[in-house]
Amino acid sequence: MVPGTTRAGTVLGAVLLSLLTAPAHAAHAPSPVPERAAALPAAAPDPVALRAALRSALANGAPGALARVDDNGRAHRLAEGLADRGTKRAITAEDRFRIGSVTKTFTTVVLLQLVDEGVLKLDDPVVKHLPGALPDKRITVRHLLGNRSGLYDYTNTLFARTVSGFEAVRNKVFTHRQLLDLSLAKAATGSPGGAYAYSNTNFVVAGMLIEKLTGTSTGTAYRERIITPLKLADTFYVHPDTALPGKHSRGYLTSDGSGTSLVDATRQTASWAQSAGAIISSARDLNTFFSALLRGELTSAARLTQMRRWTAVNSTQGYGLGLRRRDLSCGVSVYGHTGAVQGYYTYSFTSGDGKRSVTSFANASNNAAVLNTLPRTLEAAFCGTQATARTAAPAEREDIAPDVVRR
């Protein structure tokens, strides 16, 4: 347990009981669809199907792809293709990479720990802690973390043209306030507490809250509250530095045109993302993080229950507080987050008991065909040979500029 939190029990059964008995509260977006079975099916992970998914990512344009499954103490590691097109170095399951919006769950955990410590409440208006930051005083902390604030996603403006937009900000350093101002220059997309609408702006404001309430940088908060306690040796927040430390995969951004040219996007400040998407990590560390989270080791049971109150995204997905739920073909739900930052796609999910986790990654972005291969790694990892083909699976959307249609 992270020092300074007030976790009310570590037993998974108590967490599940609280989920079953928690009263519905329309303003807090209770799940419109019941969660599926918490227990995993009998099937073991299917390494053949996992490798096939990775090879499909390569066939659709990713130079490399990897997956790691941690299954109740046993690790399965798979990798295909290249980490570096220049040196021809093969990618490995130990490579570090930019995790994009998986950062949002880290940000959420820090804020929920502050809720546990009594520093703020989920239903506090944001302006209580950041006076004058938002024009709509009804927006609460809960609305931010659930993507229900109505704040316009500034990345739709920055990256309407992906490559030219990236090159314009690759080496730029933004403040949180500058990113927020980009959002506020556009009209709100909805009312606070209304429909789910994914927006990076929410987690920029969450980063502002962390820095105001802790008196430290977001990077320091991640390190002191999550990275060091969990001994995440491959996890870093280097913003605004541009280099990834240690052995890492390079990232390749697909061009906007009809050609197949790739832009090496590895070195960047990722300042456009910050608390919404700038962490660097590895498959091992992300599996450790999500396993610890679902086992109740990072927040109180009450806060974990709040994270798992779902708003529908589509027929197979829900969003809680900084946490995604995906319902798989074999009748189980898994929990984690997706991530995109230029050149990098990440999927990281765990079972309801935290005993089986998978992180899959491809060193590509701006490529819908590659992105749509990664959900297959979840089916292979959690359903094994019990996985069944979906005839109408919803298309995946990037966490960068989610309203931009990608080919």
| Residue 216: Cβ within 10 Å count | 14
Q: Which of 348, 372, 366, 361 is nearest to 406 (CA)?
A: 366
Question: How far is it, in rounded angstroms, from Cα 298 to Cα 113?
Answer: 8
Question: How far is it, in rounded angstroms, from Cα 363 to Cα 280?
Answer: 13
Helix runs in 74-231, H state only = 103-116, 126-129, 141-145, 155-158, 162-169, 176-184, 200-214, 218-222
Contact call for residues 325 and 317 (beta carbons, < 8 A): yes
Question: How far is it, in rounded angstroms, from Cα 151 to Cα 173?
Answer: 22
| Residue 376: Cβ within 10 Å count | 22
Is 149 considered catalytic here?
A: no
- Rounded to 5°, the CA angle 401-405-406 comes to 95
Contact call for residues 81 and 93 (beta carbons, < 8 A): no
Burial (CB count within 10 angstroms: exposed 0-12, middle 13-18, buried 19+), residue 99: buried
Alpha-carbon distances of 262 from 61, 163, 251, 277, rounded to whole Å: 9, 10, 9, 22
The total number of residues shown for the chain amounts to 407
Catalytic entry in 18, 56, 101, 258: 101
DSSP state of 26: G
Residues 6+ apart with CB under 8 A from 74: none
Cite the active site residues. Answer: 101
